[in-house]
Amino acid sequence: MERSNFVDQIKIFCRTGHGGAGSKHFLRTKFNAQAGPDGGDGGRGANIILKGNKNLWTLLHLRYYKNVLAEDGKGGDKNNMSGRDGKDIIIEVPLGTVARDAETEEKEAEILEDGQTVVWLRGGRGGLGNAHFATPTNQAPEYAQPGEPGVEGWKVLELKVLADVGLVGFPNAGKSTLLSVISAAKPKIADYAFTTLVPQLGMVEYRDGRSFCVADLPGIIEGAAEGKGLGHRFLRHIERNSILLFVIPADSKNHREEFNILLNELEMYNPELLHKNFVIAISKSDMLDDELKEAITKELPKNIPHVFISAVTQKGLQELKDLLWDTLQPEEQPKNI
């Protein structure tokens, strides 16, 4: 099987730098052999930093970057000279990246904006030199602080696609065809299930130079929340979408049941997904007459807006764009053309 260039999760071992030890040194001059303590502080251990890069769309560049070992801080020196800090490691990641601890699964950092930097893992602090411990009653301290150890452990970087609209539906519902028509994206399209194995992003041009981002996500199957099919690997990508566009083909045996199955999988994975805005698109509807459209409408939930579309004849696509834009920007109204 051809290896995909879309990598949305990696596991890496990270270790930040240890802090440098403080110096235990005493100044000696030609005229004063016991001039006092002058041990400098140790340098800080290097941090591991995450930085957002809008030009990255995948974690592919980190696939073989399995061990991230940061530099230790240098020890202090005489004449109150501080040791050099360790050189920080900056890891550039795509927007929408979440960093977690591999064992506890606790979220430790999140990157959402281009250029955003987050100190993910901090290096150990440098130790204080003996000059800090001199007092009137202890003018020659024989001790200095050791540097603090850095932190280490297995970590997970996970990419959740950032898009305004996420296409949700069973395999072969027509999501990829729709994306290819309303945007410049060229997803793989074929007449068999699971043609789309990784998310595909496309920018949809709207009126007056405005645009929004749509993600074609791998198809859901019943049991996806339990890991069947592409399972969680797909479902995590819809957590960031403002709108979920349910694509249900016109030739479905039961449109309401298909919608309910999709909804149930979302709820089982994360109940908070039910608070997002929903829109339903009935695809492949170019052969439907008014009577069939009315029958399908009766099957659909009354509180969720829907539109009949055909990617082949481009019927209903502008109506769909208007509906999505109104949902994304409710305070704006599209201009007539």
Tell me the pLDDT tens digit for each residue of 106-116.
Answer: 999 999 999 99
Q: How far apart are CA 283 and CA 315, in angstroms?
A: 10
Cβ count near 209 (within 10 Å):
6
Residues 302-316, mean pLDDT to the nearest whole number: 91
* Token couple for 182: 């309303």
pLDDT confidence of residue 17: 96
Residue 173, H or E segment: none
218 pLDDT above the threshold of 80? no
Residues 195-202, mean pLDDT to the nearest whole number: 63
Place of tokens 């001790």: 143
307 pLDDT above the threshold of 80? yes
CATH dotted code for 9-159: 2.70.210.12
Q: How far apart are CA 50 and CA 27, in angstroms?
A: 42
Listed in order, the ranges of the chain carrying CATH 3.40.50.300 are 165-328
Listed in order, the ranges of the chain carrying CATH 2.70.210.12 are 9-159
Contact 23, 129 (CB under 8 A): yes
pTM, two decimals, is 0.68
Residues 65-92, mean pLDDT to the nearest whole number: 93
Cβ count near 113 (within 10 Å):
9
Q: Which residue has the higher pLDDT, 162 or 62?
A: 62
Going by pLDDT thresholds of 50, 70 and 90, the confidence category of residue 186 is low
Residue 212, H or E segment: strand 211-216
- Of 74, 73, 99, 62, the closest CA to residue 16 belongs to 73
Residues with Cβ within 8 Å of 217's Cβ and at least 6 positions away in sequence, in order, are 161, 166, 167, 168, 175, 196, 199, 234, 237, 238
Residues 84-93, mean pLDDT to the nearest whole number: 95
Long-range contacts made by residues 269-274, C-beta under 8 angstroms, separation at least 24? 269/224, 269/225, 269/232, 269/235, 270/235, 270/239, 273/238, 273/239, 273/244
Residue type, 159: L
* Token couple for 4: 């995909």
pLDDT confidence of residue 179: 84
Beta bridge partners of 215: 166, 201
pLDDT confidence of residue 337: 38
Q: How far apart are CA 163 and CA 237, in angstroms?
A: 9
165-328 under CATH 3.50.50.60, yes or no:
no
| Burial readout 275-301 (b: 16 or more C-beta within 10 A, e: otherwise) | eebbbbbbbbbeebeeeeeeebeeebe
pLDDT confidence of residue 336: 44
Tell me the pLDDT tens digit for each residue of 138-169.
Answer: 888 989 999 999 999 999 998 887 778 888 88
126-130, 201-205, 248-252: which is most confident: 126-130
Residue type, 231: G
